[in-house]
């Protein structure tokens, strides 16, 4: 017997931050493929964002492009206002925008610390807060979705794996974990589901140095028991599931999509 519920997102509206490339772009396309109308947010790469919109439209979907920096409160409000203006009620947020400013901790500048925390953690909080406000103001429509609203925070395996030379990034992802769980606890009773996806190593521009040459990829694969570097679609598939009624009893969860990177691969052969 098949489930009464499906991956179908027809009639729903999704905002995906940082959707001009990488995981955000793949997630926007996958959500549109599942029937959602999608707001493709970007910060600097307007061309990339429009390429994603065009691909969605060519496939018969609906999308708009809105450029805002998610670290700025008034710009996040603008992002939601533009989406509502174009498509009406918002049902799904994928808080995905993120960046790295790497460096040894003893020389890391305050500016690089703040930039990463501002975008990766505060930016996600601002987007989550705006989505929660929007969901609460609208009220539940069970014919559209069982939940009042769904939020997916893009975290990382580095919410649990410490990462030398990346203290700002790892701290931001550790922060996302407790922000997500706290919000999930606080709003579950009002029908909002909030979860995180923790990607391992996925081929996107953010980590090109780690997989861009055969030598680098071979070294990286030693950290991945499943034996391959991930593709953006591996994450986008999880995004669609978490956004759909198929995952309706899932909230406050961190879904590791990492080919086993968090399984301590160094211990595979007796440690």
| 5 close to 246: Cβ distance less than 8 angstroms | yes
**Using the rule CB under 6 A, which residue among 9, 12, 13, 20 binds ligand NAD?**
20
Binding window for ligand NAD (CB under 6 A); candidates: 41-49, 178-186, 237-245, 259-267: 41-49
* Alpha-carbon gap, residue 242 to 115, rounded angstroms: 29
* Alpha-carbon gap, residue 53 to 57, rounded angstroms: 6
* Alpha-carbon gap, residue 38 to 124, rounded angstroms: 18
Does residue number 166 form part of the binding site for ligand NAD (CB under 6 A)?
Answer: no
| 16 close to 235: Cβ distance less than 8 angstroms | no
- The smaller minimum CB distance to ligand NAD, of residues 148 and 236, is found at 236
Give the max Cα distance, the chain: 59
**Using the rule CB under 6 A, which residue among 11, 55, 69, 161 binds ligand NAD?**
69
Binding window for ligand NAD (CB under 6 A); candidates: 17-25, 177-185, 212-220, 246-254: 17-25
Does residue number 121 form part of the binding site for ligand NAD (CB under 6 A)?
Answer: no
E-strand stretches of the chain: 13-16, 37-42, 63-67, 92-95, 149-154, 192-199, 254-257
Give the DSSP H or E segment for 32.
helix 22-33
**Using the rule CB under 6 A, which residue among 9, 13, 17, 238 binds ligand NAD?**
17
- The smaller minimum CB distance to ligand NAD, of residues 187 and 256, is found at 256
* Shortest distance (Å) from residue 188 CB to ligand NAD: 24
Nearest to 242 by CA among 54, 22, 3, 9: 9
**Using the rule CB under 6 A, which residue among 63, 92, 93, 119 binds ligand NAD?**
119
* Shortest distance (Å) from residue 206 CB to ligand NAD: 3
Does residue number 206 form part of the binding site for ligand NAD (CB under 6 A)?
Answer: yes
* Shortest distance (Å) from residue 191 CB to ligand NAD: 26
The neighbouring-strand residues paired with 257 are 199
* Shortest distance (Å) from residue 35 CB to ligand NAD: 23
Retrieve residue 169's tokens.
Answer: 């990034």
Residues annotated as catalytic (active site), given as ranges: 169
Residues in contact with ligand NAD, total (CB under 6 A)? 30
Parallel/antiparallel/unpaired status of strands 92-95 and 63-67: unpaired
Binding positions for ligand NAD, rule: CB under 6 A: 17-18, 20-24, 41-45, 69-71, 96-99, 119, 123, 154, 156, 199, 201-202, 204-207
């Amino acid at each position: 017997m098949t489930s009464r519920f499906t991956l179908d997102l027809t009639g729903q509206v999704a905002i995906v931050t940082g959707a001009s490339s990488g995981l955000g772009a793949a997630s926007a396309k996958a959500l549109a493929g599942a029937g959602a109308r999608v707001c493709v947010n970007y910060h600097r790469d307007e061309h990339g964002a429009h390429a994603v919109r065009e691909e969605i439209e060519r496939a018969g979907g609906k999308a708009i492009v809105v450029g805002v920096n998610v670290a700025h409160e008034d710009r996040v409000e603008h992002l939601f206002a533009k989406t509502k203006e174009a498509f009406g009620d918002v049902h799904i947020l994928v808080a995905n925008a993120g960046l790295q400013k790497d460096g040894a901790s003893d020389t890391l500048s305050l500016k690089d610390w703040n930039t990463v925390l501002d975008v990766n953690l505060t930016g996600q909080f601002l987007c989550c807060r705006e989505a929660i406000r929007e969901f609460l103001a609208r009220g539940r429509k069970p014919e559209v979705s069982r939940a009042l609203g769904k939020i997916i925070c893009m975290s990382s395996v580095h919410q649990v794996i410490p990462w030398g030379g990346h203290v700002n990034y790892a701290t931001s992802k550790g922060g996302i974990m407790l922000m997500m769980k706290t919000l999930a606890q606080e709003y579950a009773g009002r029908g909002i589901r909030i979860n995180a996806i923790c990607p391992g190593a996925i081929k996107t521009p953010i980590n090109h140095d780690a997989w861009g040459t055969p030598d680098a990829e071979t070294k990286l694969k030693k950290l991945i028991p499943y034996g391959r570097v991930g593709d953006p679609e591996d994450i986008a598939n999880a995004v669609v599931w978490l956004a759909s009624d198929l995952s309706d009893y899932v909230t406050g969860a961190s879904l590791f999509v990492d080919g086993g990177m968090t399984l301590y691969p160094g211990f595979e052969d007796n440690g």
